[in-house]
Amino acid sequence: MKALLPAFCRPLGYFVIALALFLPFILLMTGWVTDANFIFYRECSKLLMMMGALMIIFALSKHEDGETLRIRNTSVRNAMFITVLFVFGNMVYRIWKGDTASVDSSSFLIFLIINVLCLEYGLKKARIDRLFKGNRQ
């Protein structure tokens, strides 16, 4: 999977995720969030997190090469597997509890966040591997 966004979108994506995490609490403390508009702000926060995660996933890295593309593809594969396990576990838990009223609507957000974690882990691991391979020669 090729990168579609410029490199500055990577830190911008982290900023958007941080904004989506902390802005609802700030709005709650200032009185903007009420029972009437809580769902609106919750869904807007989810959308901001999705946008931030997509910006991180699709942004160019500093040293973009074939290995980065391989890491990006591997992170998508791993994130799909882990997300299916998480969603399945969540469904089994809800069945075990007998909870028929709640529905999980954040599966895609979970997938994106896990994808970002897998991508960052893969990039950092490749960087450390290059450091150690360079020291052995």
- Written as tens digits, the pLDDT of the chain (137 aa) is 788 899 999 999 999 999 999 999 999 999 999 999 999 999 999 999 999 999 999 999 888 888 888 999 999 999 999 999 998 898 888 889 988 777 777 889 999 999 999 999 999 999 999 899 876 65
Nearest to 104 by CA among 115, 85, 90: 90
CA pair distance 113, 52, nearest whole angstrom: 9
CA pair distance 50, 35, nearest whole angstrom: 24
